[in-house]
Amino acid sequence: MAKEFDFRGKWVELFFFILIIVGFIFSVLTRSTVLSYSLIFVAGMASGRLLYERKNKLQLPYYLMIIGFLIGYILGAFYGNRNVMIILFIIGSFISYYLHDKGYIQDISI
């Protein structure tokens, strides 16, 4: 008998895998260097926002998922320099985290 998937115990692995696929698809579809760099920079900003939201809370699973997306994106990147993409992603994350942390961007509380 097939074992039921333990979502509560393995959600990080699941989302890690899903985000690798999402990152890969995004990267493959973006057939332009400028758009590819722009997209990874904005994705970095979104991840910075996510990490800011997890400030003082459990962060490791979210780091893993973000790295999953980045791996997928880098694997599918046929246009542009992969090192530049990693740097842009990290810069985007830092900028976004800093802007949220200093209160320049204040978000809605749902």
Partner 1 sequence: MGEIVDLVAKVKKYYKPTPLEIRNFFIIVFVLAFIISMNEWGPGQEFQLMYGLFNFLISVIIVAISFFFYHSVQRIVGLNLGYKVEYQLWSFGIYFALIIAFLTTAIGKTIWVFIPGGILIHFMAKHRIGFFRYGLNYFGLGTIAFTGPLASIILVIILKSFAPLIPSFILTKAINFNLAFAVWQAIPIPPLDGSKLFFGSRMVYALGFTTIVAAAILLYINIPVWIAVIGSILIGVICWFLYYILLERSLWKGG
Residue 38 touching partner 1 (CB under 8 A): yes
Residue 29 touching partner 1 (CB under 8 A): yes
Give per-residue burial for 34-67: e unless 16+ CB within 10 Å, then b: eebbebbbebbbebbbbbbeeeeeeeeebeebbe
Interface pick for partner 1 out of 15, 18, 49, 64 (rule CB under 8 A) = 49
Q: Check if the beta carbon of residue 43 is closer than 8 Å to that of residue 89.
A: yes
Task: In whole angstroms, give the CA distance from residue 82 to residue 33.
Answer: 11
**Interface map 7-26 toward partner 1 (x if CB under 8 A):** -------------------x
Least Cβ distance, residue 5 to partner 1 (angstroms): 27
Residues that bind partner 1 (CB under 8 A): 26, 29-32, 35-36, 38-39, 42-43, 45-46, 49, 96, 100, 104-110
